[in-house]
Amino acid sequence: MKTERRAWARRMAGAALAAAIGLGLTLPASVSFAGTAATITVDTASNAGTVNPFAWGVGAPDKYGWWAGNAALKTRISDAKIKLVRVNPIQNMLYNGRDPYPSAGTWSLADMDAILNTIFDAGAEPLFVIAGFPAGVPHTRDADGKITSADWTEYAKFMKGVVKRYNTDRALGSSKTIRYWELWNEPQIEGDGKFASQADYISFARTVGSAMKAQDSTIKLIGPVADSSWGIDSPAGYVSVAAKQLESQIDILSWHDYGPSPTDSDAARFAWTKEHYQDNVAMVKSGGPGDVFKGPSGKLYGAAVTEYNMSHQDGGSAYNAKYHSEFNAVYAASAIVNAMKGNADMHLFYNLAETGTNLLGLLDNATYAPYKPYYTFHLFGNRFGNRKLTASGGAANLEFVASKDTSTGRTYVIAVNKDASATYDATVQLQNIASASGAVNVWKLDAATNPTSSTAIAYSGGQFVYSIAPMSVVAFEVVPGAAGPVLFANGFESSDAPPTWLDTLDGSENVSGYEAGIGPECSPRIETPHTGIATLLFSGTDNSATTSYAKCKVFDVDIPITSATKLGYWLYPQTDNARYVAIDLVMTDGTTLRDSGAVDYNGYSVHPNAGHGGAIPLNAWTPIKSNIGTVLAGKTIDRILVNYDRPSNTGPYRGYIDDLIITNGTLP
């Protein structure tokens, strides 16, 4: 990003969010709507390729502040399920007095480890940007920052050592290797080193990139990181020159593309997203007019917009408020939808957090509290599947993309209304759906609402209608066969019915608290969710190798069981003992699920001491499902419990339960 952009961003004061705009309303299909009619048709049985989560990547907090290891930042990345974070560890270290290569042949990379571990530990992977000069690389620059000389051979030695540390020696662990590396940042204008010519950039990329690939031939190099104002489709531009001259080094062509200046209209800004983030990406990936982006051997490259935002300029207090409001949230959603349709290899918003007044950041730079646009990334990360679906319809200002989660069978549609005044009454038609009726969970992002909880509507006849308000993003989670027969559902969100009891035992023996001074826990927490932002935490410590159990009461209910009744929930054990935790049901006649003989869909007893087979993964979500009606039909559930029971072992147990459902329909 241009140094000038950062300067104004640090100077400008933030402003209040734009006024709230009307919320979308859900109405029966028979009701007459006042908005503009639109149809979205999704083939739920289609396969349009694998969903690429790098389409909603982000840039790391900028280089001016030291953020490595910050727990709040890691939580924000993890909660939004962001999978790619663009970061320049070299500049971040240099700007904070931590030179990674203080002299020739001397590496000092402990702080680089901390930067990269912050991203890895949050569940993402880094895109490592190479830019800036450590003291160990001889170079000179003029007063304007232009590189007048540089020892690229020494720079290559430095970077070859970095690749060796992480990808050959695997200093951070076997799973923490770095696949993607970007060769400089905006070489025409980078404040820490501008290239005098394209030839100079080519010399750098060949020397440094070749040395890195000699160390690890599997890495992917990205460049030339050009500013789009140089002409993305020009035969003389950096991108096309790199395609022609760096075929042996570069795998993915990259450039930056910010939205129009503040003097442009809002309509022009939203019209920008298709041309720049879908059409341009697709053009580069196809080789471009006259094969301008094709290598000499005919090589076609990947394509990446590695910086974008709704603009890059100061527009005054009223305009600048949009950077943190639903306006930029909708702009980012439209950009992501179009990048997905263009099959971008990477598409990265600038930035997670920026110093100063942080206009271009998703998060406050001091507390990492989210601004409104952060929830766009939260929405895509949490409300999307892994397989793209074929879909059609929409309107010029109503964009959408559809997917399926192949593990659950749920269909997802994310729709973006980027019109400032028009409401779209969208009929969503679900072709080849597994059940003609079912439930739709609706997650909404607008001026007044963040998508951290949902509302439920039904679909029937393979379709539903929803009114999508101006300047909003809506995610539809379609659950076939789950409408009507749902008897109980709770994801422990603020919008769900709260537990009847918190940290309350219904009986225990030889079990104490996970930590000294507390008892066994069983209550909601805003951490490590399967969906939404909340889960049910359970914890304790087993103190006996002969008899030990703890039964925690959670819900007081009155649920009749038929032969069709099923139980489902998700379990996230953090310790081996936590595998021996299970949902239990106490009937009005005193009988229990644990002693009923019921088994789960894998054939294991649902009794907690069966441990769900004893081998479910740690620190991961596993679905637990059982046809409880086959053994409990005719009874009525009185209480829902969370039970720990492992008589033959001792030690701590801790984990989470989420998305509990009891239904006479199909389990999600």
CATH code at position 438? 2.60.40.1180
For position 407, what pLDDT does the model report?
81
Tell me, what's the pLDDT at 16?
A: 26
Question: What's the alpha-carbon Rg for the chain, to the nearest Å?
Answer: 27
Considering only CA atoms, which of 487, 494, 482 is closest in space to residue 529? 494
Same domain, 251 and 136: yes
Q: Are residues 610 and 557 in the same domain?
A: yes
Task: Mark which of 350, 383, 416 sits at the end of a domain.
Answer: 383
Q: What angle do CA 52, 125, 474 make, to 5 degrees?
A: 45
- Four-CA torsion 105, 106, 108, 113, nearest 10 degrees: 30
Question: Do 312 and 396 have their domain in common?
Answer: no
Query: Is residue 505 a contact partner of residue 551, using CB atoms and an 8 Å limit?
Result: yes
The answer as to whether 21 is a domain residue is no
Same domain as 227, residue 352 = yes
Which residues, 6 or more positions from 407, have their beta carbon under 8 angstroms from its beta carbon? Answer: 386
Number of H helices, E strands in the chain: 13, 31
Q: Please report, as a single letter, which amino acid is at residue 12.
A: M
Distance from the first to the final alpha carbon of the chain:
44
Q: Which of 498, 528, 558 is nearest to 620 (CA)?
A: 528
Nearest to 94, CA basis, from 34, 137, 135, 42: 135
Tokens 């890495």, residue located: 219
Provide the residue range defining the domain that includes 404: 36-48+389-480
**Continuous segment of H or E residues that includes residue 334:** helix 326-341
Cα gap 524→239, rounded to integer Å = 50
Question: For residue 219, is it within any domain?
Answer: yes
Would 342 be classed as within a structural domain?
yes
Q: What is the DSSP code string of 97-144?
A: T--S-SBTTB---HHHHHHHHHHHHTT-EEEEEE-S--TTS-EEE-TT
Q: Are residues 400 and 511 in the same domain?
A: no
Residue 30 lies in a domain: no
* CA nearest to 25, candidates 490, 342, 470, 652: 470
Cα dist from 516 to 180, 340, 503, whole Å: 45, 49, 15
Judge whether 385 and 405 are in contact, CB under 8 Å. Answer: yes
Q: What is the mean pLDDT of the chain?
A: 91
Q: 452 in a domain, yes or no? A: yes
Q: Which two tokens stand for residue 247?
A: 């075929």
CA atoms within 13 A on the CB side of 87: 28
Question: pTM, whole model, 2 decimals?
Answer: 0.74
Q: How far apart are CA 113 and CA 130, in angstroms?
A: 15
C-alpha distances in angstroms, 308 versus 56, 347, 360? 11, 8, 10
Same domain, 163 and 272: yes
Low-confidence ranges of the chain (pLDDT < 50): 1-33
Same domain, 562 and 539: yes
> Are 397 and 293 members of one domain?
no
How far apart (Å, rounded) are the C-alpha atoms in residues 609 and 224?
Answer: 57
User: Residue 105 maps to which CATH number?
Assistant: 3.20.20.80
Q: Running DSSP on this structure, what letter comes out for residue 147?
A: E
327 and 472 co-located in one domain: no
Q: How many Cβ atoms sit within 10 Å of the Cβ of residue 526?
A: 16
CA distance linking residue 415 with residue 392, whole number of Å = 12
CATH number for position 528: 2.60.120.260
Q: List all residues 6 or more positions away from 74 whose beta carbon is below 8 Å from its beta carbon.
A: 118, 121, 122
Are 158 and 246 found together in one domain?
yes
Residue 323 inside a domain? The answer is yes
Supply the pLDDT for residue 434. 84
Structure tokens at 499: 């537990």
Do both 281 and 185 map to the same domain? yes
Residues making up the chain, counted from first to last = 668
- Chain Cα centroid distance, residue 231: 31
364 and 402 belong to one structural domain: no
Q: Of 480, 514, 548, at which residue does a domain stop? A: 480
SS3 224: strand
Q: Are 575 and 542 in contact (CB under 8 A)?
A: no
Write down which residue in 338, 360, 383 finishes a domain.
383
> What are 452's two structure tokens?
């951290």
Structural contact between residues 150 and 201, judged by C-beta atoms closer than 8 angstroms:
no
What's the number of domains the chain is made of?
A: 3
